Structure 1
């Protein structure tokens, strides 16, 4: 057998390579890693080493085994009797594994023939068993030591207690002995005094009192000696107790130290033997047995802890429960009738924290007042509110101060501040490409100029030949990379131009030399100045014969844009997008300006950017165009964009090619967001998905509450204004577009069309095709459905046909605004104009039995027609307005009398006609209403 690697041998044996390397090193074979080679001799050496470790003779291949391990496995089923119907009759499979090891005790191994060598895998298993046996012996030894130590401690404590008891007994005996001695002494003295007294009585002679004094002093001395002995015994007892306490404390400290050492040693041994322990399932199966069935005893089974135990079934679950009577237990709960509330003696002034938005009920709870009091105070301030209405922060602060409390405005954007702190880019700032925005009036050639630079055709792809989206492109030029943003020039795309100016470094203002400065040109200048961007003027269409660049300079000078050759600081570059004239000069001007500005941005770290545009693609979902401003955006990053979040699934450049990462000043399209964010929202990279979800949810809640607060701000003045404007017509529209920027521009453009007579209200708007929800919304609000570069799906078409809704599709914003304007005009009431067609003078009045007073008139102007409305004028003042009842020329009824002819006119229901009055004949003409 040739040499082989350690890891191959480990796979053959069935153990890990690391363990085999350790065994080789223990056998004296130097191996450092699993890829090392070992020879046949080294394998034989390893085998001999393992045989010696596990009890075999080294060179005796016929040695018999010293121990035999028998294994037995049995599988049975038991039924669980549960208290519930689900557990009744349920069978549980029980597998019992048993293992018994027989060790050979005789010492005559030398004469017995040896068996074949056991494979390494079997030896490893035997090694594990030996380790388990050694561990059990070690545990038994530890238990024996602990038992000996406890018995020794018990003996020592008994001995100490006996010593203390002996000291106490000695002290008691000393005290008793002293007392007895004193009593005997007193008795002897009394006897002696009695005898002396008898002698004195016999001998009349008085004896001296000195012996009595001597005896009392002696008794006193005896008592003092007894007290001294007692004090000495007390001192001895106290010393013994102190010594006992000191020994006890030292023993406790020694036990604690010994216990800590033992626990550390056990933990180390357990960690070392964890890999060598047998399968836990086998050990657990030994403890599983039936509760009702007796354990069957096998041939080699022992009556020890490896016997079958009962299953872990709760008490009372194994048999049917018996009905028990309900025991009546009376519990007495002691309650106190006193309470801890004390009425305040002065008004309580509270410090109320006021967030950005708060409902009336929450504010009342924070001030500890009833909601009705808060609503009453709001009505006193002129605001109609309900208990669930959301108040903005300013209104809530004024209300809190009005009610006598202290308001403390708080900002609830800790989550966003934490995100901004975590994504702070601290890397080295490196040079970056300039971001250039091309702005100007519509049809002045912005996109065509950019096409010439990019060598592509973008204008042909836009509807109507005008740009309606923000295009972001990164162009490779001979002077380095330049990022261009192409903005729309139409008046409805003001917000899109404003966003383009905010994220840019240099603004290229395109002005047509034959057209001059137009309204959007002036607006672009204002946006550039507001954003603080550098301005470069490109005078386009210089190839036309009627081009007048000096006129452009003069008109821009009126708006504080002074050319360099006129003493200003703005570069004017004449170009032609058609022929390419001056394009290189324009790029040179951009590169020069970028070098002067020294544009830098950190490359390392999380990305931070701005949303240029967002749309909903049918196949790819939400597609967002982002301009990365600092850091690096990578595929797989978790981002938060406005109220949306998600993981970056893919990155594409302006040519549709996939990218793995995007650095500063790079426009990319990313996929993977939860929805279409608003244009102008900031993109931030979040550390994890949970943080991104929290921030997006917080922003959504905040935006919803602000919207509700704005919608519900119904004040008393507004109520009266709405009552007065009851005749105001409203045109409801639902707008769906392909990109968010176009939807925003259309909404703002339609709202600007509102007048005092007709108001345009955008009921709903969104990105994507027209679906069933949009159709139902339009039907409920009686609105017009407008699709800008989108169409309705099949479900929406069915709803539109059933409800008879008006759907309009547009791809050019000009046509959209014209159609909506016509619809608004059609909603106006018809307008009638009074046109005077004749004037007659009353010369005389005579009566007629049939018609009453008849005015004899002379027609001065125009003609008088029958059944036309008339006005009677007296001194050029209208005194009556009615209609003709009869018109006669002499005695004949006529329909019309021309100027210079006399006639008789009968005025219907009017009898006060006098000579000298004038009768004015007119007709009402329907005029076309206009906004």
Structure 2
């Protein structure tokens, strides 16, 4: 078989080598370089492929063509006939089943590939055998050298011992002689004896003995006769040691070493540990890939990110799984958990007072009930007569101490009611006898059940003439709150906040329920509890109302509350009086935190201020990273969602409130007013007075400033007046919600409605040289106006919409024609009016929309 290389074949067919290799690759041949050989069979395969590419696939195929001619006669009109000839031609192709050359070539290629693989395997086996043989030879050689070194060392030691023995014997023989002769006066033969013996061992050690491994393996220095001061010559090993280990002997060249790295034959699957948030660069490093690969995968998933961008755990999990690795979530709260585990809450448990939350619908008498119990006027001081904060009080009654939490009843304060239910032992559900069960009453029942807290129902306003206690009971039974007298487990007590009727019975019911619960606490333990409310006071800084649930909170304790920490500088009770400590179930205000914690956060007292600061900083960093990651994820998801849509009207607001709970309720209520066309954007929110920074931000973002129970300082007022900003103060949540509704309603586009004002029926059609086609009509309904739009209806189907050309009453042009009168109507740009058509006159009006 003739053999030829790819390069020779390219010169023969006058084709560049690169192009020829590409064609051979497309034909299924394994050639990749110009020096590879090409057989005749491979040439035939390439030729068949090129023929198929140039439309010559039929070459070598068997074809047969059949022709048929058929004559017919057609009879035409008049008795004539026409001869018609029809020719048909059809070609049949018989294709070969299998190309024998291609089959032979494929078998040859497979055989060559198998031979090449066998050759590669044999070469690898041979190299491995050679490497093993070389390692064995090197090991044997090293062992032989080590054995020779040890033998030389033993010989040197034996020679040294013999030399020492000879010197000792010489000294002993000279001690009895009166005529001592120095060694220098002895005959040359006698002096040379010891040097000859030592020197005779030196050549052996010079050839075989290497450097001693340990200091004690070989005597060092020189040997001197103590009697005669005779110097003894050094051995070669001693000379080696005396020179500091330096030798003139040439070191043997080490054997060639091979690195142990092997290219992995399969993808390596890593177990990637993911925290709450991580940057793209860190994620790529954990998977041992380049950052560009991670960015590419995220782009394919629909999220665009940069190398230094922080992503949240969920997004990182999707990326890791997409790239074929395993995910492992790590606990970043180890520092926090260690600190919490180090706090000892063990001690003697004693009975504690119950924490009672008063919940119910707005204006059902919750605060008035507490007002009577506390003998104060709390309700009179509330804006609009409604509670807008969580009030915390503890009172001493004839039946024992009770701590009360008064929650707002307005629909906007859902979160505050939920927090009240979570921090309490017993819930007093207030329901007015003259009003019955309302939406917030049902919501309070749901919060109590979710928290697993027992309920005591207080039916207020029983002294009113319209009071109906049975109606209230029936409505509460429908909510599965069944009284004890009806076979349930809930105590019902009728009370009046004005006369005091039923107050003692209510307190007895609460304390009875507390006895059943067996509430205990450890006063000697470090304090822990929940943050009820927090606000920013201009003179005192951050002020947080906390409820101690266990332990005792003292002045000077280090408190960690959510993201904030600090040392307690002062403790104040609900009346503003300073106290030194607060035990279990006691609500107090604390001063000294470095910020306003979120309402509902848990607070603890820790011993180490440094650890508390570390945990607070860690929580702040984690909160900030997770928030930024989620914000960016939201932007990525909504990047293209607004394209092609109409512009959305936005009301920007800078909101400041007096306490954290009211701020949360306002933000939720205002953002819930947003729709698809208009939305509320809270540019900035915070607790405390309105500052110049807030005003500057409002100017930059074109926002309205809302102050809820707070005021602007002097510099902020000057800036607001100078820049003519919109500043509004509110003290009742109803008013701010209503004003924002009106503002958003102004941003809504008005509805366009059509109003039919008149209908006329065409009775006859006339031709006018001046106006063209004129329809004589009778006004059936309403009034036909000259300047309004019309529609022409035929069989109650609109066939034309336009305007009137003219409206006449007899020969006079008029502006309108009323019902029951005849008129002539000229339709502008329409001349197909027929008798029986109806002309409908309508006008478009704009209707303002509201939320």
User: TM-score, normalised to structure 2's length?
Assistant: 0.69
Q: CA deviation at 1:717?
A: 6.4
Conserved in 2, the CA contact under 8 Å of 1:487 and 1:497? yes
Conserved in 2, the CA contact under 8 Å of 1:731 and 1:759? yes
Q: CA deviation at 1:637?
A: 1.1
Match of 1:611 in 2: 531
Conserved in 2, the CA contact under 8 Å of 1:383 and 1:714? no
Match of 2:290 in 1: 370
- 2:168 paired residue among 167, 170, 182: 170
Conserved in 1, the CA contact under 8 Å of 2:525 and 2:551? yes
Match of 1:426 in 2: 346
Match of 2:788 in 1: 868
Q: Report the Cα distance in structure 2 between the residues aligned to 1:438 and 1:862, rounded to whole angstroms.
A: 62
The residue matched to 1:712 in structure 2 has which SS? helix
Match of 1:308 in 2: none
The residue matched to 1:553 in structure 2 has which SS? helix
Q: Does 1:700 align with 2:609?
A: no
Q: Does 1:804 align with 2:724?
A: yes
Q: CA deviation at 1:887?
A: 0.9
- 2:709 paired residue among 785, 789, 807: 789
Q: CA deviation at 1:869?
A: 1.2
Q: Does 1:627 align with 2:625?
A: no
The residue matched to 2:787 in structure 1 has which SS? coil
Q: CA deviation at 1:383?
A: 3.0
Consecutive unaligned residues of structure 2, counting only runs of 5 or more, are 1-161, 176-196, 198-215, 221-257
Conserved in 2, the CA contact under 8 Å of 1:736 and 1:770? yes
Q: CA deviation at 1:859?
A: 1.2
Please show how residues 204-243 of structure 1 align to structure 2 within 5 Å: none
- 1:455 paired residue among 375, 387, 392: 375
Please show how residues 59-458 of structure 1 align to structure 2 within 5 Å: 169-171=167-169, 343-458=263-378
Please show how residues 905-920 of structure 1 align to structure 2 within 5 Å: 905-920=825-840
Provide, for residues 692-746 of structure 1, a one-character-per-residue CA deviation record: whole Å limited to 9, x for no partner: 2111111111111121122111487644432254333222212100000111111
Conserved in 2, the CA contact under 8 Å of 1:383 and 1:715? no
Provide, for residues 801-820 of structure 1, a one-character-per-residue CA deviation record: whole Å limited to 9, x for no partner: 33332211100001111111
Match of 1:855 in 2: 775
Check 1:347–1:899 CA distance in 2 against 1; reply closer, same or farther (3 A cut).
Answer: same
Conserved in 2, the CA contact under 8 Å of 1:628 and 1:663? yes
The residue matched to 2:641 in structure 1 has which SS? helix
Conserved in 1, the CA contact under 8 Å of 2:742 and 2:850? no
Check 1:821–1:850 CA distance in 2 against 1; reply closer, same or farther (3 A cut).
Answer: same
- 2:757 paired residue among 813, 837, 855: 837
Conserved in 2, the CA contact under 8 Å of 1:397 and 1:409? no
Conserved in 2, the CA contact under 8 Å of 1:389 and 1:712? no
RMSD: 2.7
- 1:713 paired residue among 608, 619, 633: 633
Q: Report the Cα distance in structure 2 between the residues aligned to 1:701 and 1:880, rounded to whole angstroms.
A: 68
Conserved in 1, the CA contact under 8 Å of 2:543 and 2:591? yes
Match of 1:134 in 2: none
Q: CA deviation at 1:873?
A: 1.6
Q: Report the Cα distance in structure 2 between the residues aligned to 1:759 and 1:511, rounded to whole angstroms.
A: 36
Conserved in 1, the CA contact under 8 Å of 2:303 and 2:637? no
Conserved in 1, the CA contact under 8 Å of 2:359 and 2:407? yes
Match of 1:185 in 2: none
Match of 1:483 in 2: 403
Q: CA deviation at 1:546?
A: 1.3
**Which shifted more, 774-783 or 721-730?**
721-730
Q: Does 1:821 align with 2:777?
A: no
Conserved in 2, the CA contact under 8 Å of 1:838 and 1:920? yes
Match of 2:699 in 1: 779
The residue matched to 2:643 in structure 1 has which SS? helix
Match of 2:556 in 1: 636
Check 1:166–1:881 CA distance in 2 against 1; reply closer, same or farther (3 A cut).
Answer: closer
Match of 1:161 in 2: none
Q: Which has the larger radius of gyration?
A: 1
Conserved in 2, the CA contact under 8 Å of 1:357 and 1:705? yes
Q: Report the Cα distance in structure 2 between the residues aligned to 1:395 and 1:767, rounded to whole angstroms.
A: 33
Q: Report the Cα distance in structure 2 between the residues aligned to 1:587 and 1:894, rounded to whole angstroms.
A: 84
Conserved in 2, the CA contact under 8 Å of 1:608 and 1:631? yes
Match of 1:517 in 2: 437
Q: CA deviation at 1:829?
A: 1.2
Check 1:926–1:406 CA distance in 2 against 1; reply closer, same or farther (3 A cut).
Answer: closer
Conserved in 1, the CA contact under 8 Å of 2:562 and 2:616? yes
Q: Report the Cα distance in structure 2 between the residues aligned to 1:175 and 1:887, rounded to whole angstroms.
A: 166
Please show how residues 523-602 of structure 1 align to structure 2 within 5 Å: 523-602=443-522
Q: Report the Cα distance in structure 1 between the residues aligned to 2:350 and 2:642, rounded to whole angstroms.
A: 59
Check 1:168–1:722 CA distance in 2 against 1; reply closer, same or farther (3 A cut).
Answer: farther
Consecutive unaligned residues of structure 1, counting only runs of 5 or more, are 1-163, 178-226, 228-240, 246-337
Q: Report the Cα distance in structure 2 between the residues aligned to 1:427 and 1:722, rounded to whole angstroms.
A: 61
Provide, for residues 515-545 of structure 1, a one-character-per-residue CA deviation record: whole Å limited to 9, x for no partner: 1111111111111111111100001111111
The residue matched to 1:530 in structure 2 has which SS? helix
Match of 1:652 in 2: 572
Q: CA deviation at 1:172?
A: 5.1
Q: Report the Cα distance in structure 2 between the residues aligned to 1:714 and 1:579, rounded to whole angstroms.
A: 56
Provide, for residues 230-258 of structure 1, a one-character-per-residue CA deviation record: whole Å limited to 9, x for no partner: xxxxxxxxxxx99x99xxxxxxxxxxxxx
Match of 1:143 in 2: none
Match of 1:11 in 2: none
User: TM-score, normalised to structure 1's length?
Assistant: 0.64
Match of 1:119 in 2: none
Count residues in correspondence.
616
Conserved in 2, the CA contact under 8 Å of 1:784 and 1:806? yes
